Structure 1
């Protein structure tokens, strides 16, 4: 097994986890936008410098990139009911 096979296997595991959580009504924060002085996306409106907002459904605001990355592994949140 070469490095790219190992990397792909790791990505498959992460994707499967995100999918399982999503099907169970939880958000693992896989996508987000960060603050921009002039927002490009609606989700960037209201963010302060350094902040990051999840765009996968929960809209959680994180203090910075590091907090967002930690939350991807450790802090799923319940998605709002549709």
Structure 2
């Protein structure tokens, strides 16, 4: 377990992956697979939401709506899986 010194705001990227995954556990199989696909597309598009929407074959507005519904935030989408 890595410890940091000093104060500051704890962000999503600072949390262990197991803790992040626990918040996703309430999703059904369909929602979880959609969430995984969006996070992967955002990572592949280096955070560019328009490009991620193209990768997924959906409109940008639909991507934003799905990100809100699935609680995908900006820090989380850039994290590598298992990091």
TM range, normalised to the smaller chain?
0.3 to 0.5
The structure showing larger relative contact order (alpha-carbon pairs under 8 Å, at least 6 residues apart) is: 2
Answer 1 or 2: which has greater strand percent: 1
Greater radius of gyration (CA): 1
* TM-score of the two chains, using structure 2 as the length reference: 0.32
* TM-score of the two chains, using structure 1 as the length reference: 0.32
